[in-house]
Amino acid sequence: MDNNTQALVLLIKRQVLQMRQLRQFQWSLPEGTSGESTITPSVTSPEVQQAILDQKLILMIESEGIHDISDDMFEVFTDLMMVAPKRPENGGPPLKPCFKSYSLDRSCNKVVTVMEEQTTISAGTTGLRTWEASFWLAEHLIAHPELLAGKNVVDVGCGVGFLGIACALLGAKKVALTDGNHDVLAMVQQNIGYNNVPCSTTASLLDWESFTDEQIAALEAQVLILSDLTYDPTNIVPLVSVLKALLVRGVDAYMSSAIRNPQTFVDFFIRIREECVGVQIDEIPLEDTEHLFFFDEGTVQTVKVFHLHFP
């Protein structure tokens, strides 16, 4: 298998691992990633079909009309069609949690696997799934591993734990995943176990409204990561309260957020400047490059990433 064909198979594999919807799949290498070869590999070539079949993926290949469908591929497709359940909107049962795997590199050598819900809200919380702002922050940390190397990382409002576990794989010395919801923490604890983390990685309760000085000190934070925590106006005051305790001189905070409610976002920064006098807030430009993760094109333009610290 030549380099371009291997790159195409890895592109498909990363989308399968992330459980990207088939209608949103990228079926060809982005422009400028074809390497030295001038031949662009076809997703429907027999070689690529077999490689993808080995990854347990069925492709919609008839439309290209160049190569015949592999008999093995057709058999797998038929089996999947027979057992595919109805979605809730079509009269099917409620969706169960699923496993998603997010590759931190293009070769799928570093992969974070998490169990998460397939719905927006479950058990009264939005914290049981991975949100897209986390991907933007993860890409920044992947591009700059020196920000984490040998440091104690605290994930504030960790959700299912994707970002915190990613930090453990990217070179952090110790990772503490914190949340205020017991159902979220139960899932996080399982997700830590699904990954071969190379450093101490724990999940613990951190209630933004009733934390103690002892809890804050025990975290020994050097780097804070926060993702998609400013969507709810009622979160602003308690979030800033816990940040005021954690974000002291010598601690760096990296924050990503989808701007769903612009006023809530503005209110957060007004309050953090009032409570953390002298804090510097630098917006990190999101570079227009080929991404490791796969985004909903309708929301990517609203995501911002920031670095908060005391100079």
Query: How does pLDDT run across 138-160, given as a tens digit for each residue?
Result: 999 999 999 999 999 999 999 99
pLDDT band at 73 (very low <50, low <70, confident <90, very high): low
Higher-confidence residue: 1 or 125?
1
> Would you mind telling me the total number of residues written for the chain in this entry?
311
In 3-state terms, what secondary structure has residue 210?
Answer: coil
Which tokens belong to 101?
Answer: 């795997």
In 45-197, where do the E strands start and end? 98-103, 111-116, 152-156, 174-179
Say whether pTM exceeds 0.85. Answer: no
* Residue 81, pLDDT score: 47
In 3-state terms, what secondary structure has residue 48?
Answer: helix
**Side-by-side strand order, sheet with 174-179:** 200-205, 174-179, 152-156, 223-227, 252-258, 303-309, 280-284
Q: Mean pLDDT across the stretch 151-176? A: 96
Which tokens belong to 188?
Answer: 């996080």
Residue 214 has pLDDT above 80, yes or no: yes
* Residue 15, pLDDT score: 73
pLDDT band at 124 (very low <50, low <70, confident <90, very high): very low
* Residue 231, pLDDT score: 82
Higher-confidence residue: 290 or 26?
26
pLDDT band at 48 (very low <50, low <70, confident <90, very high): low
**Which residues share a beta bridge with 201?**
175
What angle in degrees, to the nearest 10, is found between the helix axes of 236-246 and 262-275?
A: 40
Phi and psi angles of residue 271, each rounded to the nearest 5 degrees, phi first: -70, -40
Higher-confidence residue: 78 or 261?
261
Q: What is the mean pLDDT of the chain?
A: 79
Q: Mean pLDDT across the stretch 204-220? A: 96
Residue reference for tokens 């309708």 = 298
By C-alpha distance, which of 140, 137, 197 is closest to 173?
A: 197
Amino acid identity at 163: L
Residue 79 has pLDDT above 90, yes or no: no
Residue 33 has pLDDT above 90, yes or no: no
Q: Which residues contact 258 (CB under 8 A, 6 or more apart)?
A: 131, 132, 133, 228, 231, 299, 302, 303
Higher-confidence residue: 117 or 281?
281
Mean pLDDT check: name the lowest of 22-36, 98-112, 162-176, 256-270: 22-36
